[in-house]
Amino acid sequence: MKKSILFLLILVGLPQLTMALQYKIDTTVVDFNKDKVLDTLINYYEYGSSCSGGDVSIINGKTKEKFTLYNEGCYSSFTRFIRVPTPLNLETNAPFLKVLKDTVLPKKRGHPESSLNWLLSGTLSLKVVEEHPFFDRIAAPKTNWIPNELTLPEAYYITVSGDSLQKLDLLYGNNFNQEYTTAFLAYYPIADSRAQLANLTPIIKNTEYEIYKTSHCVFVKKGKTYKWLFISDSHVMGAPDRHSWQAINQIQLIDNYLIIHQDVPPDNVYNIQIVNIETQKVARLKFEPSYNNWSDEGGMKTFKILENQLIFTEYGEPEPKKIPLKQLFEALDQF
């Protein structure tokens, strides 16, 4: 019996092993800096079910000095943080930096457009709280009302330095202990969300607002202007492990507030996000809303709004949890 179990484990493990070995390496030998000595460019890329990326290195043929940019990340986030080693910013190494950027990065923009602005300002304003009665994450993204329909761009990157660099460095973690004063923030919106934006109708509205959603985004129309309200991303309020898994489920509009059911598979719990449309403040409930309450009846499929209360099944709890809406909205606005 033990041998059968061992054999089964080996068979089950093979797909993961195969998946981990999905990678490619390209090597190019060219005189990039025109010093009449050949240099070597090595581009390594690995594919996975939840994460992907790699690194691109260039070796100076004359000095043998090696420079590397790392572009790695998981599909739970639309952004990647690429640090630039300080020596690459020297004028003598400018040809190498250009080749590395052209190899590993999408096109450049001078400033973030509105969707990346939401992600960036949401990330930089994020507070992880431990003792709050309702919330465990609170952020205050800042974007402007836009006098035209919202779109998601093709992938691009911006250059980051100064205070923003220091804050993002703490978030992404400096795993390679390099000295640097600049970095690139690469943004990779997914194609299906771009396509969905072209043919949307409001899912809910009142006299003031029309609310729209894609698989990963929520935005609002007010009069003839638009604004992002929520983008599912692990660096802000959490996200599914893969872009192919839909995040945005039910949405309720109450006056100038939204309550969003955000799925985060493969977890069997989901997030409830509270959003103030005008201030753009967003907070995640600290509880674990779940489809399973460990009873024969099972849990609620999603939250309900009844008698001015938010009602949902909490993971492991037999009775539904009830929170007055007024308390939630006041708590959000106090931050």
Residue 205 lies in a domain: yes
Residue 242 lies in a domain: yes
* Nearest alpha-carbon partner for 190 in 209, 215, 227, 220: 215
Residue 170 lies in a domain: no
What are the residues facing 127 on neighbouring strands?
138
Rounded (to 5) percent helix, strand, coil in the chain: 25, 35, 40
The per-residue pLDDT for 15 is 44
The per-residue pLDDT for 4 is 34
Q: Are 136 and 130 in contact (CB under 8 A)?
A: yes
What are the two backbone dihedrals, phi and then psi, of residue 99, each rounded to the nearest 5 degrees?
A: -65, -45
The per-residue pLDDT for 144 is 93
225 in helix, strand or coil?
strand
The residue whose two tokens read 């993961």 is 16
139 in helix, strand or coil?
strand
* Distance (Å) of CA 143 to CA 121, 122, 157, 283: 8, 10, 18, 17
Residue 243 lies in a domain: yes
Dist CA 290 CA 269 (whole Å):
4
pLDDT along the chain (335 residues), means of 10: 34 42 87 97 88 92 96 91 94 97 96 95 94 96 92 93 84 69 93 74 95 95 96 95 90 98 90 98 95 61 95 88 98 95
Residue 197 lies in a domain: yes
The per-residue pLDDT for 113 is 95
The residue whose two tokens read 């790392």 is 70
Helices marked H in 152-243 — which ranges? 162-172, 191-197
State the pTM of this model: 0.86
Tell me how crowded residue 165 is: count the other CB atoms within 10 A of its CB.
17
CA 82 from chain centre, in angstroms, equals 15
Dist CA 80 CA 67 (whole Å):
19
CB proximity list for 267: less than 8 A, separation 6 or greater: none
Q: Are 160 and 168 in contact (CB under 8 A)?
A: yes
Residue 277 lies in a domain: yes
Q: Is the dihedral of CA 28, 74, 81, 107 positive or negative?
A: positive
What are the residues facing 135 on neighbouring strands?
285
Residue 233 lies in a domain: yes
Residue 94 lies in a domain: no
Q: What is the DSSP letter of 32?
A: T
Question: Structural domain tally of the chain?
Answer: 1
The per-residue pLDDT for 297 is 57
CB proximity list for 171: less than 8 A, separation 6 or greater: 81, 123, 235
Domain span holding position 267 = 130-150+190-333
